[in-house]
Structure 1
Amino acid sequence: MTGEAAVRQLPAMLLLFSLPSIVTAQTPTELPTIVVEAFAKTSNGWSSDEVLLDDIRRERFLAAVRARSPDADEADCNLMLLKLRKAGKLTVKATRRGKPADDRVLPIAEIAARTIMEKFDVATDTMIADPTLRKAFDAAALIVDPDVSLYDIRKAAFQLRKSRRLKPELVLRVADWDKQVVVKPLPEVRSNLKLVPTLPGVYLFRDQTGYIYIGEAVNLRVRLTQHLNDSDRRSLAAYIEQTSGEGLSIEWHAFPKDSPARQVAVRRAYESELIRSRNPRLNVRP
């Protein structure tokens, strides 16, 4: 069974929100040499990025590494490959790179990548290199579009990284405050509004095309109830009515009641940074 098939058989929400802590293994001193030789032996002209993005090519590369170092950690091997490529130390020139990611996949990749990067505070390279984080990223993408190709979505994430569209928002790195990030399909929220906490926070409506609308609230349950019953944001109300909520999901960032997010000015600063970086279609840019 391929890695993609295995991920598709697992409940996406379980993968995404029930992950163990990420532990970094020790890197053996001989690993750079082993990785260079394994890549030269197995890459078949593909670039280092293409080797990591494709399940079959990556497994072939890892098998070659483990033939020399049986206990080598997958994340260490993959990150070392990227590090050596950036340092210009790979001895084989890439002659095959594949096609660029389809523009239609880029919004899905951005949503999935930001979900994982915020939850685990990791960079894009680590998210793809670490097998546990990669499965979480794949699962996050499948929540947005169950039919998306996992290879395409990973490639899109790397493409976004290179264009610096996944640069972390400064306010999100500073404003931790024990926030809880939750994603639910809109129909599920509508049928059980008690899923939404009565806490201050920021909420994001999104679908396969990207982010739709971002807002803030002193009480997330009250505000989302208003939006789902008869939103005072007419463009959002029309969009929800037009789609009947199908394909839409709601992501909320909930903060403790005694956190700085209880102040409207703080929530609006957080909201404005999200609007600036994620460019939701129905918001007026702050």
Structure 2
Amino acid sequence: MAWFALIPVAFVLVATPATGHDFSKAEIDAAFTVASSGYSADEVMIQDELRSRFLSELSRADPRPDGFEREAMLSLLQLRKSGKLTSKATRRGKPVDESIVPIAEIAARVVMDRHRVSSDTLLADPAFREELDREAQKISPGTDSVAVRKAVLSLRKRRALKPELVLRVADWQRKIETHSLDSLRQAIASEEIGDGPGVYLFRTASGYLYIGEAKNMRLRLSDHFSGSDRASLAEYLRSEASAGVTVELHLFPSDSPAKRVTVRRAYESELIRSRQPRLNVRP
């Protein structure tokens, strides 16, 4: 039996609901022409000053209606993708900083997985974009937010942020949390981390480190801290490099399908395949 047959296909990627804003192509095009200063639609998406100027050209109402910003930015992207923007880019922003790409991928995947949204919605919606910035700061404090957004755009164009099948179809009341090593130790000690099933991802600013699954998350994570049975991970956690480690938890209720080891291992294997943690033996 194929591993994906174990997972009931009951959920699909949720689209951001419409809020009733109906921008004409002419409105979007005119606002972009005035606000872009010769930059591309992507730069207007990620640079705060250009973005604010574009939104002001569309509407000077204060406050703007809920959902206005998200739908305005999605409308701009749609027009850019269809090649119908009349103003062509004559200026370039900064190039992608490849050292930021792993940070951007981890932060983007957390928010996309947590809320089941696309990379376009991630960058268009102001609340998701702020959450992206926060997650990037957890991974590498002081990281430039614009550089992270630029890297997300690059990853999207490379098709490197496509959601894994298991994350698209598996909801099961999943909760996603991120912790530093210190905050995770505290959460384990205070039993804020429950004894239900889950999958955990050790990460650094250079990418994913180790991915594992557990029937009892609190017990398994505690084992890793007291002396992991994964020699390479134990050695890393004892080294000075452990100061840069963060941990992403995918937590499930005890009565969810994830209580079955075959389901957890399918979930874990798909994450290992796509995210390529450097301390795992490939499944």
TM-score normalised over the length of structure 1: 0.88
Report SS of the residue matched to 2:149: helix
Residue-by-residue CA offset, 1:20-75 (whole Å, 9 max, x unaligned): xx7632122x5321110011112111000001100011111111111499956111
* 1:172 matched residue in structure 2: 167
AA paired with 1:245? S
User: Gapped runs of 5+ residues in structure 1?
Assistant: 1-21
* Structure possessing the higher relative contact order (Cα contacts under 8 Å, 6 or more residues apart): 2
Q: CA contact under 8 A between 1:34 and 1:68: conserved in structure 2?
A: no
Q: Does 1:135 align with 2:130?
A: yes
How many pairs are equivalent?
A: 264
CA distance in 2, matches of 1:97, 1:276: 35
Q: CA contact under 8 A between 1:206 and 1:212: conserved in structure 2?
A: yes
In the TM superposition, what are the counterparts of 1:266-285 in structure 2 within 5 Å?
266-285=263-282
Q: CA contact under 8 A between 1:189 and 1:195: conserved in structure 2?
A: no
CA distance in 2, matches of 1:90, 1:192: 50
* 2:20 matched residue in structure 1: 26
Report SS of the residue matched to 1:245: helix
**Change over 3 Å in CA distance of 1:180–1:220 after alignment to 2:** same
Residue-by-residue CA offset, 1:63-96 (whole Å, 9 max, x unaligned): 1111499956111111111000111110011122
**Change over 3 Å in CA distance of 1:37–1:70 after alignment to 2:** farther
Q: CA contact under 8 A between 1:31 and 1:77: conserved in structure 2?
A: no
Select the residue among 247, 260, 271 that pairs with 2:244.
247
Q: CA contact under 8 A between 1:187 and 1:245: conserved in structure 2?
A: no
CA distance in 2, matches of 1:246, 1:68: 46
Report SS of the residue matched to 1:25: coil
Report SS of the residue matched to 2:243: coil
Measure how far apart 1:192 and its partner are.
4.2
Select the residue among 210, 214, 218 that pairs with 1:213.
210
CA distance in 2, matches of 1:85, 1:246: 42
CA distance in 1, matches of 2:63, 2:192: 46
Q: Does 1:199 align with 2:196?
A: yes
* 1:60 matched residue in structure 2: 53
Measure how far apart 1:259 and its partner are.
1.4
**Change over 3 Å in CA distance of 1:107–1:250 after alignment to 2:** same
Report SS of the residue matched to 2:95: coil
AA paired with 2:36? S
Measure how far apart 1:146 and its partner are.
1.4
CA distance in 1, matches of 2:21, 2:228: 53
In the TM superposition, what are the counterparts of 1:74-89 in structure 2 within 5 Å?
74-89=69-84
Report SS of the residue matched to 1:197: coil
* 2:157 matched residue in structure 1: 162
Select the residue among 42, 61, 66 that pairs with 1:49.
42
Measure how far apart 1:244 and its partner are.
6.5
Residue-by-residue CA offset, 1:145-186 (whole Å, 9 max, x unaligned): 111000000000010000011000011111111111111111
CA distance in 2, matches of 1:215, 1:68: 49
* 2:235 matched residue in structure 1: 238
AA paired with 2:113? E
Report SS of the residue matched to 1:282: coil
Report SS of the residue matched to 1:272: helix
CA distance in 2, matches of 1:268, 1:33: 51
- Structural RMSD (CA): 1.7
**Change over 3 Å in CA distance of 1:131–1:191 after alignment to 2:** closer
Aligned sequence identity (%): 49
**Change over 3 Å in CA distance of 1:127–1:192 after alignment to 2:** closer
